[in-house]
Structure 1
Amino acid sequence: MKKIFIAICGGLILSSCTWVKVTSKGEGVRLVQSVRTVESCKKLGQVNTKVESKVIVFNRDADKVSAELADLARNEAALMGGDTIVPISEITEGRRSFGVYQCFAARTQ
């Protein structure tokens, strides 16, 4: 019984953890919710992201999963030269796709 209790507590603690961090380049990428916002932007492509949506048998917090998916997309968009991402799919089993856009003039480094 004690082992089961420890396993359950451990699962609950792990399910609340955030594992994805935004890179310094990813911090320059904004997330917008509407494709209308990027109508005048140059589309660079899309990224497909995936994180764990369950830990053992416990579902992770939906807001944390959503935030981690966006953080991954921001990191990838930055590598593509993008500065804006827009979700283009719903979250399904820890997966989501984002459109990547360049909306601002390229900045010199």
Structure 2
Amino acid sequence: MRKTLLLLVPVLLLSACSWGITMDDAAKNVRTAWSGDVSSCKELGKVTVSVMDHVGPVDRNTITVRDELEVLARNQAAQMHADTIKPLAEPSNGSQPWGAYQCGAHQTPSTHSPSAPTNPNGASGNAQTFPVHGG
């Protein structure tokens, strides 16, 4: 029984890492401009968000960490009344800086990755990203 409990504790701790990181209602209106031009937008500031990127000696899933960083950045941007965020650097040690912008009617391309796929008609796809929560 004790051995089983010792084996389950690390698994439960690793699965609990993303608990509590949820997108606020206001943040659902914040777009992520992965490769979009924000030069016509009003810069409202910079936010730096961080999450645990490893638990003890075990690295967390990179995609999960990136998704959580984006959610936290969108939450912070919504509090600043921003409608667009853009990563300013790659994540490092579980931390990432983001620019917060107010673009208003200016629609910045919002894609999941810097190399957005094109549709069969040749137009680049505009899509809004949302983190996938797994169980």
Q: TM-score by structure 2 length?
A: 0.67
Contact 1:18–1:68 under 8 Å retained in 2: no
Alpha-carbon deviation of 1:7? 3.7
Residues in 2 aligned to 1:60 and 1:79: alpha-carbon distance in whole angstroms:
28
8 A Cα contact 1:19 1:68, kept in partner: no
Counterpart residue number, 2:89: 89
Question: Counting helix residues as a fraction of each chain, which structure ranks higher?
Answer: 1
Work out the CA distance in 2 between the residues paired with 1:44 and 1:12: 35
Q: What TM-score does the superposition give when structure 1 sets the normalisation length?
A: 0.82
Structure 2 letter corresponding to 1:91: P
Matched to 1:30, the amino acid is R
2:130 maps to none
Aligned to 1:33: 34
Amino acid at match of 1:102: Q
CA displacement, residues 67-98 of structure 1 (integer Å, 9 cap, x when unaligned): 11111111111111100000001111100000
Alignment match, 2:7: 5
Percent identity over the alignment is 35
Does residue 14 of the first structure (1) align with residue 23 of the second (2)? no
AA partner of residue 12 (structure 2):
G
1:59 aligns with 59
Match of 2:70 in 1: 70
Unaligned runs of 5+ residues in structure 1 are none
- Indicate how the Cα distance of structure 1 residues 80 and 8 shifts in structure 2: closer, same or farther if over 3 A, else same: closer
Query: Structure 2: which 5+ runs fail to align?
Result: 106-135
CA RMSD of aligned residues (A): 1.9
**Greater relative CO, 1 or 2 (CA 8 Å, sep 6+):** 1
